[in-house]
Structure formats: structure tokens, C-alpha cells
Amino acid sequence: MTTSAAASPANRASKYLQFIQTYGMLLILLLVVAIFSLLSSNFLTTGNLINILRQVSIVGIIAVGQTLVILTAGIDLSVGSIVGLSGAVSASVTLGTGNPLIGIAAGLLTGAVIGLFNGVMVSYFKLTPFIVTLATMTAVSGITLVYTNGNPIIVSDPVYKFIGQGYIGPIPFPVVLLVVVYVLFFFILRKTVHGHYIYSIGGNEKASVLAGIPVKKHKMIVYTVSGLLAGLAAVILSARLSAATPVAGTGYELDAIAAVILGGTSLFGGKGGVGGTLIGVLLLGVLTTGMNLINVSPFYQDVVKGAIVLVAVLLDRFINADTQ
Amino acid sequence: MTTSAAASPANRASKYLQFIQTYGMLLILLLVVAIFSLLSSNFLTTGNLINILRQVSIVGIIAVGQTLVILTAGIDLSVGSIVGLSGAVSASVTLGTGNPLIGIAAGLLTGAVIGLFNGVMVSYFKLTPFIVTLATMTAVSGITLVYTNGNPIIVSDPVYKFIGQGYIGPIPFPVVLLVVVYVLFFFILRKTVHGHYIYSIGGNEKASVLAGIPVKKHKMIVYTVSGLLAGLAAVILSARLSAATPVAGTGYELDAIAAVILGGTSLFGGKGGVGGTLIGVLLLGVLTTGMNLINVSPFYQDVVKGAIVLVAVLLDRFINADTQ
Amino acid sequence: NSSNQNAGSNSNGNGTEAEGGNQAAGTDSVKIGYVINTLNNPFFVSVKDSAEKEAEEVGTKLSVVNANNDIATQLSGVEDLIQQGIDVLILDPVDSAGALPAIQAANDAGVKVITTGRMVEGAEIVTHLGYNEVKHGKEAGWFLAEALGGSGKIVELQGVMGTSTAQERSQGFQEAMADYPDIEILSSQSANFDRAEGLTVMENLLQAHSEIDGVYAANDEMALGALQAIEAANRNGIVIVGNDGTIDAFHAIQEGRIAGTMAIYPNQYGEKAIQIALQVANGENVKELIELPSIFVSEENVEEALSMQE
Amino acid sequence: MSEAELLRMDDICKSFGPNVILKDVHFTLLSGQVHALLGANGAGKSTLMKIISGVYTLDSGSVTVQGKQVSIQSPADAKRHGISIIHQELSLVPEMTVAENIYLGKEASANAAGMFFSKGRLEACTEKLLGKYGIPLDPRARVRDLSIGHQQLVEIMKAVSDESNILIMDEPTATLTTGETEQLFTVIRSLKDKGIGMVYISHRLDEIQEICDYVSILKDGRNTAEGPIRDFSSEKIIEHMIGKQLEHYYPSSDRVPGQPVLELSKVTKGHVLNQVSLQLRSGEVLGLFGLLGAGQTELLKVVFGAEEYDEGEIRIQNQAVRLDSPAKAKAHGIALVTENRKEEGLVLEQGTASNIALASMRRLSRWGIKKDGRIRSVANHYVEALNIKLSSIREPVKNLSGGNQQKAILGKWLYTEPNIVLLSEPTRGIDIGARSEIYHLLSDLADQGRAVMVASSDADEILGMCDRILVMFNGNVIAELKREEANEELLMEYASGAREKKEVKQ
Ligand SMILES: Nc1ncnc2c1ncn2[C@@H]1O[C@H](COP(=O)(O)OP(=O)(O)OP(=O)(O)O)[C@@H](O)[C@H]1O
Ligand SMILES: Nc1ncnc2c1ncn2[C@@H]1O[C@H](COP(=O)(O)OP(=O)(O)OP(=O)(O)O)[C@@H](O)[C@H]1O
Ligand SMILES: O[C@@H]1[C@@H](O)[C@H](O)OC[C@H]1O
Ligand SMILES: [Mg+2]
Ligand SMILES: [Mg+2]
């Protein structure tokens, strides 16, 4: 066969391009890290790196669910509001039952149920994801206010707090969770049938239906997972803070979406993955911490952040110029 | 020609369906209006209807620009932040020069320049609209804080205030502007080559490029117009308040996008128009005002709003069941 | 002109001991971190400006971080400041809950903590510069009730639902109203601490109620927005009361357009926070609780209030 | 018309990454010439044409248009130099009307005022244009609602209306029926008389013989032969294209069909299918012939559960079934090879392996986890069996040539090992060598006792490969013919409604 002979180098080249494409942003991240390290001697320390990882764990986990949803060409605006409600539920159930595990389960379940609702609306009722999840976002924030009567809920249960404040060896527990979630979903996207279908649905939903794939079911699962992961983020957040506040999570959806797209996943579906998302999450986290460390005035922080993000995507574009 | 004969009724049917499709949401709007009218005797009064129109004028005008952008399969997240900066610029220039017209021009120009910047990034540098306009949004809010040092700017110039508080006969001037903008862009979308290209670019960008259309130029124009209209909204808002506040406009992008999508324009481009957007804007405006009027507890307002939006899109889906 | 010496003299019940003590040795080597709950309104912008001004005057290093009204960002900000190697942390909590881990993290790193504004239960802090939002809501409510002669129809504009400021001010206001059976609260609506929303919500309330005698707004931004709506509708004679004591509000009081505001002098607040932080850094003794000057400002004392707000 | 040189390409090289696609290719087009560009799937025909039409830029070489060396950087540049192209892949705006699509980018030529846009005037111009060439399209119809063949006609008229000197047609007839093809030839002849030079790409060699004056053949991105058509018999062309002679183009069949496995009785769907009844037996290849819009595609989709039907009954192995989703149909052992590869067939961003595996994930996984090694070997098997030309089974299929994309879709469905294989225009865009392989492949399936039903508007292929033929007209099955009794004239007579309904055996 003529093809196999030609295949090897081409294959390698395309792998190389793909590497650059995904990891162009990684290079940029490293560049930003290098710059901050030069500007502040406190930046490149183990303590600070762990600090950054812990800080990004919450949005980082939400961004995994968001990646799945966006890969199917959908969007989930409700995740931020789920953080508010799930946190309140898990904190209050922990207080009520005295059992943190039941509390945590309740928080996760709350997230999953809201996600399932979104999924059903999007898949079975064929509603636009943007509007459905926007409506859910609005309604869920309202439900949180009603549920908490607008008041924060303090939790001091040590097991509960461990989720957010504990350590496994030198590694903060939220970071452990972050890593587990990324590894798990990296595997799911690459190695499972469900992951395969996520790409095919996002790449061409019609062709997927015609290939006999239960597209609705898989889309529904994706939204449910997104809700579930937002629930997990809620538990971590409330455990980190020893408290659930009703406004917690506001705006996290945008941070998560930004990280996903910075990481190279297309809003039109079918292209990308959680590896890129992690880089996007880290880039945003490093920016925030770095600017605090080198003491950029708060009024200028947004200017600098916006500018750096723009420069990052421009650089990325030039790195990838041929691959388009 | 066998087909032409068969085509006419099909064509008429499709027009009819299109009517229902666009105006299904109109029916729902009327339903919501009817319900509020039953619940509050103050709702269906000329005074209140004018009140609603004046209130929606700001987001309504922004939503026109957003419609154009979304029709090209883009998105503009920066419009809210433009409202902040353009308002500050137009107010401060009005104070500085003593000439409200120069101030207003400066405000509009600010919006247009930011929009142009977005447009260049999206068209010529081929960056993802979501990330570009998110970065601009962040940077522009920062610039506003730096420019104003975080403080509001009071304007009391009567000409300036007229833009927001004046009347033409019984009609508030912002409402006049709203109507002019909608009529103008309804016309542009339907009757000009530029409008035609907006649809073709959103419908199939590749085909548009292959047809030799200067796609980049037209996309750039669309973002510029979106910025310009956000600048206009900023002038109206600051004139209405007799003050420009640095946080003005925060979150308006989401309201505008929601209105556009509720109005039936597809996030994937090529389908929709400003007629639907107006209905979306009105629906959201009516909800807010209606709930204030019937005195829904603020704790429950979001729950009700989210639920109604969801019911609206569900109803709309059933009305349009066959057209999909 | 605003020398830091006058901080205590004209405000009610403050107890700073160390006037003049802030020039103590080693100021320039002290690093202060300030996590401020929000910069989304003029009140906190003034707090920040005055703190920065004071820090510059005394020549100490100050890093300000904006928590953006989010407790997680607040915690991150504290962590970042600890990484930066600050000596003293001034924390202006976003919420009365959720700040504990941040304070603990600072303590663990050997950073001394001062809180301002809201009290954080059970936290290990050197001192608290505080005010009481329930009390503020109450005082503003009383003023409004008295201004209406103890009877009338009023509306309440609340802040961002679910934030402790909004909750506590509303609670105080409602408690005050309980003392006035002849005052009817027609409606309580949220305008999210925002001027533009204050305008639109008030426009709607004016549509809904043909008779409104008074407006209680949980902050001045909403009060000023409501003012625009009322003036545009020519509904003269509505008594408006706000909270915060921003310059814009003072001017409106001067012009007789709003009746009063529950003022917490933001410039003194920032300035004093820095002074106390320095004392703490230098190991001086400070009181456990320092009440911040807050006073209701109306037509009567607005000139004085304005002169203090320079 | 004098035979002036309109276009000349010399030493054209083009690579994608490390893959050399075109190597020192030359090509010359004269005024009034219809120049066939031939080659197997993936030979580089479309790539060469995309270079002159501004879609790709060349790596090296020169392009001369009417004696002047030019640099073409964009489709707009190409138009300015008087070059138009009918792309192999449809590039229409589905939400827009026929008129809007035909005049896309040249509204000004139909409108008086440059900035303003009048739909009415576009429609009038379109009406005139369509009338001139006798093309039966409604200018006001939305393209999305047209069958793919009609969409192709729109694409053709779009290029024709450019009034360019140079017109490139990349497989314009792949989706057209004989009748439509004749219409296109009329168009071509009239353009030829005006001195317009045309490049004509097709895998249908009879068309080449009929309409072309001159032939250029590419193989693996290099020129292999060229000359006047009279010097090139079809056999010679094939030899230059694929490097060998083709024997047994169509398989010979002496099968005896078995029991009916699929039966439709009085299946009706709107105006598209009218009381359709038919039987498909195991061990037979059943042909479904019809003109554009006769309803064959709809019929297959209904059987596959991809579209609903209003009334009637479908039975599989004598059991009445309700097939309301492709997933269910698949579970009943049915496969459908769709006709519109980009929209319905492929996940373009994914590789060939991923696409081939898509419909068979259950077999290619355990506990929900993919067997990657198995997927690779399956993909490699079909790449070999179907001779798919690609650089890697992971390379996005959007980079494959049209014909190779079609083969990937075939591979996907073959691997599901269906008992009932439905195919809609399965050889569309496939080169002559591969086409013959597919015919043999389908024949083998039938020999193994599977049931094959092929919808095609290519009468020749229907006649060559099917054991039995049903003809559709206006949503009705109007005739059933045995292979022996059928011929092209008869098929056309039924398909065009010129001959009345013939008794259809139930
Ligand atoms: N954008 C691209 N990136 C990488 N490879 C490409 C790209 N476009 C085409 N190719 C490769 O170039 C080769 C030639 O493709 P081309 O489309 O020109 O073939 P063709 O002769 O038109 O074939 P067909 O008859 O199947 O249409 C193929 O192997 C194809 O995979
Ligand atoms: N979604 C749709 N909306 C409106 N009409 C449609 C739609 N889909 C198909 N049609 C019409 O139904 C008829 C049958 O279409 P179908 O695709 O089955 O034709 P076909 O015989 O397979 O034609 P071809 O030979 O072009 O493949 C056509 O007239 C087509 O225009
Ligand atoms: O005083 C208010 C402050 O406490 C709150 O957090 O934000 C709004 C302000 O006006
Ligand atoms: Mg080709
Ligand atoms: Mg068909």
C-alpha cells in the first residue's frame, strides 16, 4: 500500500502539530510563569505553586464539566448558581443530620439533579442550551435565597472541613480532587465510548444520530455530569470557607467557560479536551495570583488581565498559524 | 418546470411557519402581559407601558448590535463594559468641554473604537469572538476604573440630560431612539447588501468567502456597530441617571444575549433578526417590571423569572414543533 | 490638609489610643496587606483611596486586593498576600461567614490580622474596627419614620440579596419600622446596590403605587437612582434616606433632594485602618474593639460631614 | 472562437505538511475548450483546481491567465481574473433561497443601487437565468429544503452566472441524474460557443467522451498523460489513472434470492411517499431507481428510522416493527449509507478510524472502555480493503479527498455487519476502480445471504449490479423490473412518468 509508507512521517508531523496546538497555550503559560518569577521572588516557590493549585481547584473542576458540555456544542451557564445551592444544601444537611457524608452526598445530588434537568430540556425537549441553563441559573439562585433565607450557613464539622482544608501528605485535598477529576475525565474522553460519542455529537450531531448513537442520552449525561461536578466544587468551596453563602459561585460559569475556550475547545463543539482546559484554568489562576504578588493595583489588574489574555490568544494564533 | 408550481404553496407555508416561529414568542409575550394585567391594575396603563419601553431602551439598543454579531455566529461580551467606559467618557468630556454634543460624540466614538478593535481581532486575526470580547470586557472595565478612579461623574447639562430624560410629545426620548434604532436595523438587515452578507456569513462563512464576499470587512463592521450602539446606550443611561457610574452596564451583555436568543436568533448564526430580539427584550422587561408591580418578594423573583423564561421557551418549542 | 490627628476628635465614640504613634520606628519596613470586600461602589473606593494615601504619607508598603464580593476570591487574596510576605493583614470581610479560614491561614503564617467592617465570629484577631449594620439600618429607619411624622407609606430598596450587608441593613430597618404601626411598607424590592437599578425599580414602584411618602435605600447609589426616578416623575415630597455617606449623597442632601444618609466616613475608615495596622506591626497595644465613626447625616450636619470627607 | 490560451499552470507544487500532493504539475486551458481533468480518488484534481480558484495558495510554480502571470490569493482574486468554480463539495447557504445563493457576492450585478438589496430583482434575474438554460428550480425555494441534486444545480448556476472566462467544474454531475446531466451539457455547449474555457472533472468516463475535447490525467499528484479526447479510449484513460486495466467492472451474479427480510406495505409519508409497498429478500441486490426528488432517499430514511412515516407497516423477518430511531433500526441489523457525506455521514474533525468505529462502538469496547487496538486494526482493514488513500487513520477526514471520504462511510457501515444494507448513492464521487470494487463488495454481501438495497440515480450502475429494480416516481413505486428485462430507456420512461404504473408484485 502506498499509504502506509507515507503515513508514518505524516502521522508524526500531525501529532507534533497537535501537540503544539494544544500545548502552544502551555508554552504561553510557562512564559507567563517565567515573567512572574522574574518580577517576584515569592512566585516560583513550592508553597505558592500549591497555593495556586488549591485556588484554581474549584473553577478547575467546574471547567471539566463545562468542557464536556461545550464539546457537544452546548453551554452550561447554571454551574455558578449550582455552586450556591449545592453548597447550601450540603452545609445545611451536614448540620441537620450531623453526618458530613450525607451532607456531601446531598450537595452532589443537588448538582446532579439540576444538571439532569438541564440535560432533559436540551436533549429531549430540544431547547437551546444557552437559554435553558440561563433560566436554570436564574431560578436556582432564587431557590438558594429562598432555601437559605439569604443567610450564610456555617459548618465546622472536621470531616466536612477536611474536603477543603485537609492535606494528603503535603498536597491539599482540593488539589488531590482536582487531579483525580482531570485524570478521570481525560481517561473518559479518550478511552471510553461515552467520550467518543461526546466528540462525535459535537462534531456532527446529525451523523451521530444516523450512526444509531443514543445522542439524547449522552447529551443528558453530559449536563448531569456538569451539574454533579459543580456540586463537588460547591462542597470544596464551602469546606474551604467553613461556610456556605447564598451568593457563592456567582460568575464562576464565565470563568469556567473562559478557561475552556482559552484551552482550545471550540464553542461549536467536537474539538478540544480537558488537557487544554487545565492549561486555561492555570493561566487564569496564575494571572490573578501573580498580579497580587507583584502588587498590581486593583484598578489596573483588570486592564492587565484583559491585555495578557489577548496577547496569549494572539501568540497562540501565531504558533498555530499553519494548522488552521 | 415542474417545481415552480409546487413551490408557491410550499413557499407560502414556509413564510407562515416563519411568521409563527418569530411570533410564537410574541404570543407568549402577550400572554405574560395579559397575566400581569390581571394581577395588577397598574400594569396595563399607558404610563406603565411607556415606563417599560423606556426601561428596556438601554438593553434593547445593545441587543440590536448583539443580534448582528450573533447573526454572524459571533458573540460580543464587551458591550456591558463599553456602557461603563463610554458613559464615563461622554459625561467627563461634556463636563470638560462644556459641550454636550462633543461629549456625546466622544462617548459614541469610544464605543465604536472598542468595537472596531474587537472586529479587527475577530476578522483579521481570526481570534475566537468569545475570548476576544471577554478580554476586552475585562480590560475595558479596568480602564473605566482607572479613568474614573472608581467615582461616579455627575452631569447636569440640560441637553445631555434630554437624551435620557426628555420627551418628544408624550414619548420619552430614549424610546424614540429605541424605535429609530430598531427600524433602521430592521431595514439594514432586510434591504441592504451589508445585511444580506451578515446572514450569508452566519449561514455559511466558507461559502461566503468562496463567493468572493469581503467577509472580514463585514464582520469588522458588525462588531464596530455593536460597540457604537453600546456607546449610545451608555449615553442614554448616564443621561437618565444624570451621572455616569463606573459599574454601569455590568452584566448587560448577558441580558442582551438572552433577549437575542429568546427572540429566536441562533447562536450558530445565520438565522433570526431584530424583530425577534425586540420581543425578547420586551419579554424580559415586562417580567422585571411586572414582578415589581405585583410585589413579588425579592427572594422569589429570580425563581419566578427563571421559571417563566423556561416555560416561554417550552411553549415556543411546542408552537414550532414541526418547523425543526 | 487632612492630618491623621483629627481622626478621633470629631467622631462619636472612637477609641484610638495611639494618635501620633504611627510615625514609630520601622514603618517603612512594614508590609501591610489589605483585602477589601469590593470596589464596586464609591464608598469602598474612598476607603481604598484614603488607605493608600495614608500609607504613602507614613511611607509604608501597602498591597490592596479586591475580593470582588466573593468569599473565595477573598480567601485567595489573603493567601496571595501571605505569599507576598506581609506583616499585617487588614481584612474587610465580604461576609460575616466564610472569612475564618482566611484569618486562620494568616495566623498560621504569623501574620497579624485586623478586621474592619463586619465582625467574624470566633476569629483570632488583634482588633476589629467595626460598625454594626443592623444598627445602621435601624437608625436610618428611625430617621425616615420621624421625618414622616410617624406615619405614611414607604418602600424599601434592598441591596444584593444574600449578602450580609443587605441582610443586616434590611433587618435593622424592619426592626425600626416595627416601632411605627402607622407606617406601611408598600414594597421591599432589591436594586442590587446599583444606581441604575435603583432608578428602574423606583420607576416601577412609582407605577404601582400612586401614593409613596418615603424611600429607604440600603445604600446611597440606590437612593440616588431612586431620586432620579422620583424627580423625573415629578412626585415631589417623597422623603429619601440612604446609607454609606458618599460625596454624591452629601451633595444631594445639601441641595435638599434627599433627606439623609447613614454615613460611615469612608476616608477615615481607610486611614484609620492603616494607622492601627502600623501600631499592631510595631507591637503596640490596641483595643480589641474599635468602633468606627458612623453618624446619620442630614441637612443639619451635612456641611460638617462634607468638610470631613475631603 | 480562436483557441487562445486562457490559463496556463506550470510546475505547480503543493504539500500539506509533509504530504506532497502535487508535484511539478502543468495544465493548460484554451478558449472554448472543455478540458477533462482525470485521476483516481486523491490524485490531486481538486487541490489543483483550488489553487487556481484561490482556496489554496501554491508552494511553487506559476499561473498565467490570458498571457499575464498572476498571483491568486483568495476566491475574490480568482473572480477578478475571470475564474469561477463549482466546488466538489456544496458551498451554499442553506437558509437562503435559490436566488440569493446564485447571486451571492454579486448582488450588485443584479441590482441597480450598489448598497441596497432587492430580493425581488434577484429573483427576477434568477428566473431569467434558469429559464435561459431550462433549469427547473424555483428561485424562491429555500436551499435547505432542496434535494442534494437540486442543490448541485444551484451550485452550477451560481458559477455559470458569474459570466467568467474560465469555469471549473469539480464533479458537477456526481449528484445529477442523466436528465440533469444532459441539461448541464447543453449549458456547457452554449458556454463553449461563447469561447469560455472549462475544466471538467468527473469519474464518469462516458460523460468525458461525450462532452470533453481534451484530457489531462493525474496520478499521485503528477501528470501522467494528456492529449485530445480522440486519442483516449476509456480503457486507455483507466490505465493511466489507476495503472492497470479493469476487468469484470460489474460482478456477475447467479444468486438465488431467499426469504423476504424486509417488507413494506403501504408506507405513506406526506407528499413524499405514497403507499409504498415492497419486499427485500436475503441474498439479493435490489435497486431503487428514480429521478431527483422521486423519494428514494426518504424511503431509505424511513426504513432506517431516521424519519417518521404517517401510515403503513414495516416488517422485518415477518415481524411488524416500529422503527422510530436509527439506533433501533441498527439493532435490527439495518445499515444506511447516507448520500450527503459531509452533513450526514462524517464527523469531519475526527479521523478515519474514529469514523469507522462510530456505528460499532458496542463491539469495539468492553465495560464502556474502547478497545483502541481493535479499532485501529479494524480501521486499517477497511483502509486496505477499500483502498482509502490517507496519511493516517487519525488524520481528520475533512482532509481526505471526496471519494475517500465516501469510502470511509462505507467502511463504517460494513463493519456493523448488517443483514439489511441500505445505500443511497453509494458510489457518488468514487473513482472507477474503487467503484467496481464496491460493486463486487455489495455482490459478495448478497452472496453471503444479506439483503442489499441501493438507491441510485445512475441507471447504468443500477442495471449493472442489481438483481431486481424498483422504479420510483413522485413518491410511488411505479414499476418492478427484473435485471434481464430492464434497460436504460425503460428505466427512464418509468422514472420520468412517461410510462404508466406497471403491476408491482407484493
Ligand atoms: N486540507 C488538506 N490537508 C491535508 N491533506 C489534504 C487536504 N486537502 C487534500 N488533501 C489530500 O490531498 C490529496 C488529494 O486530494 P484531492 O481532494 O485533490 O483529490 P481528488 O483528486 O480531488 O480526489 P477525489 O476524486 O476523491 O475528489 C488527498 O490525499 C487528500 O487527502
Ligand atoms: N426537510 C425537507 N423539507 C422540505 N422538503 C423536503 C425536505 N426533505 C426532502 N424534501 C423534499 O422531498 C422530496 C424527496 O426528497 P428525496 O431526498 O427523498 O429525493 P430523492 O429521490 O432521494 O432525490 P435525489 O436523487 O436528489 O437524492 C424532494 O422534493 C425534496 O425536495
Ligand atoms: O455600603 C455597602 C457595602 O457595605 C456593600 O458591601 O456594598 C454596597 C455598599 O454600598
Ligand atoms: Mg476531488
Ligand atoms: Mg436522494
List, as one string, the DSSP characters of D256-321: ---SEEEEEEEEEETTTEEEEEEEEETTEEEEEEE-TTSSHHHHHHHHTTSS--SEEEEEETTEEE
Atom of ligand 1 nearest to the CA of D49: 18
Residue D140 has phi, psi (to 5 degrees) of -90, -5
- Give the pLDDT of residue D180: 83
Q: What is the pLDDT of residues B198-218, one digit of tens each?
A: 999 999 999 999 999 999 999
Considering only alpha carbons, which residue of chain D is nearest residue A210?
D326
pLDDT tens profile D406-440: 999 999 999 999 999 999 988 888 888 888 888 99
Taking CA atoms only, the protein residue closest to ligand 3 atom 2 is C219
Test site for ligand 3: of C38, C164, C222, C264, most ligand atoms within 8 A of the Cβ: C38
Residues 6+ apart with CB under 8 A from D252: none
**The amino acid at D103:** Y
What is the C-alpha separation between D62 and D24, in angstroms, rounded? 10
Kindly state the cell numbers that stand for C122: 470566633
**pLDDT for res A5:** 36
Longest pairwise C-alpha distance within chain D = 71
What residue owns the CA closest to ligand 1's atom 7? D399
Residues of chain D with pLDDT under 70: 1-3, 110-114, 501-506
Strands D420-424, D451-456: parallel, antiparallel or unpaired by DSSP?
A: parallel
Instruction: Give per-residue burial for A207-225: e unless 16+ CB within 10 Å, then b.
Output: bbbbbbbbbbebbbbbbbb
- What's the pLDDT tens digit per position in B68-116? 999 999 999 999 999 999 999 999 999 999 999 999 999 999 999 999 9
Burial class of residue B183 (count of CB atoms within 10 Å of its CB; 0-12, 13-18, 19+): exposed
Q: Which amino acid is at A3?
A: T
**B302-322 pLDDT, tens digit each:** 999 999 999 998 988 887 664
The pLDDT confidence band at residue B5, using thresholds 50, 70 and 90, is very low
With CA atoms as reference, report the closest residue to B316 among B72, B31, B63.
Answer: B31
Could you tell me the three cell numbers for D16?
A: 500539506
Helices (H), chain B: 2-39, 46-71, 79-97, 100-123, 129-148, 158-165, 173-191, 193-203, 205-210, 215-241, 252-262, 274-293, 298-319
Place of cell 417590571: B289
**Cβ <8 Å between A7 and D368:** no
Q: Which residues of C58-74 are buried (b: 16+ CB within 10 A; e: fewer)?
A: bebbbbbbbbbbbbbbb
Using a CB–CB cutoff of 8 Å, tell me whether A242 touches chain C. Answer: yes
By DSSP bridging, strand D273-281 and strand D214-219 are unpaired
- Determine the pLDDT at residue D253: 74
Q: How confident is the model at residue B6 (pLDDT cuts 50, 70, 90)?
A: very low
Report yes or no: A199 at the D interface, CB cutoff 8 Å.
Answer: yes
Q: Which residues pair with B324 in a beta bridge?
A: none
ipTM of the assembly? 0.89
Is B191 exposed, middle or buried, given 0-12, 13-18 or 19+ CB atoms closer than 10 A? Answer: middle
- Cα(D99)–Cα(B93) distance, integer angstroms: 49
CA D429 – ligand 5 centroid, Å: 15
Q: How confident is the model at residue D247, as a pLDDT?
A: 80
Q: Packing angle between helix A158-165 and helix A100-123, nearest 10 degrees?
A: 60
List CB contacts (< 8 A) between C228 and chain B: 240-242
Average pLDDT (C4-9) is 36
Give CA C125 to chain center in angstroms.
20
CA distance C58 to chain A (A): 19
Distance between CA atoms of D167 and D85, rounded to whole angstroms?
6
Average pLDDT over residues C76-99: 91
pLDDT at D4: 86
- How far B317 CA sits from the closest chain C CA (Å)? 31
Which residues lie at CB < 5 A from ion ligand 4? D 46, 88, 401-402
Residue at B138: amino acid letter: T
- Residues in Cβ contact with A152 at an 8 Å cutoff, skipping those fewer than 6 apart: A243, A244, A245, A246, C95, C96, C97, C98, C164
- The type of residue at B274 is V
A-B Cβ pairs (cutoff 8 Å, strict): 129
Write out the three cell numbers for D224: 501522467
* 3-class state of residue B147 by DSSP: helix
- The Cβ-side half-sphere exposure at D68, using a 13 Å CA radius, reads 5
Query: With a 6 A CB cut-off, is C193 part of the ligand 3 pocket?
Result: yes
Residue A295: which of D149, B16, D279, C85 has the closest Cα? C85
Report angle CA D272, D275, D281 to the nearest 5 degrees: 105
C-alpha torsion A310→A312→A313→A319, nearest 10: 150
Q: Do B2 and D136 touch (CB under 8 A)?
A: yes
- Largest CA-CA distance found in chain A, in angstroms, rounded: 71
Q: Are D208 and D320 in contact (CB under 8 A)?
A: no
Assess whether the C-beta atom of D294 lies below 6 angstroms from ligand 2.
yes
Q: Does A13 touch chain D (CB under 8 A)?
A: yes
Question: At C164, is the pLDDT very low, low, confident or very high (cuts 50, 70, 90)?
Answer: confident
Q: Is the pLDDT of residue C5 over 50?
A: no
Per-residue pLDDT of chain A (324 residues; tens, 9 = 90+): 333 333 344 555 556 666 666 678 898 999 999 999 999 988 999 989 999 999 999 999 999 999 999 999 999 999 999 999 999 999 999 999 999 999 999 999 999 999 999 999 999 999 999 999 999 999 999 999 999 998 899 999 999 999 999 999 999 999 999 999 999 999 999 999 999 999 999 999 999 999 999 999 999 999 999 999 999 999 999 999 999 999 999 999 999 999 999 999 999 999 999 999 999 999 999 999 999 899 898 889 999 999 999 998 898 888 765 443
Which amino acid, residue B231?
G
Instruction: Output the nine-digit C-alpha cell for C7.
Output: 481622626
Residues in contact with C48: Cβ distance below 8 Å, sequence separation at least 6, in sequence order: A298, B150, C34, C36, C39, C64, C270
Scored b (16 or more CB within 10 A) or e, B216-253 reads bebbbbbbbbbbbbbbbbbbbbbbbbbbbbbbbbbebb
C-alpha cell at D227: 492529449
For ligand 4, the distance from its centroid to the CA atom of residue D170, given in whole angstroms, is 7
Residues in CB range of D388: below 8 A, 6 or more apart: A3, D352, D382, D400, D404, D407, D408, D411
Ion ligand 5 neighbours (CB, 5 A) are D 297
- Nearest residue on chain B to D53, alpha-carbon basis: B210
pLDDT at site A199:
97
d(CA D248, CA C206): 88
- E strand or H helix at D65, and its extent? strand D60-65
Q: Round to whole Å and give the CA distance between B152 and C222.
A: 13
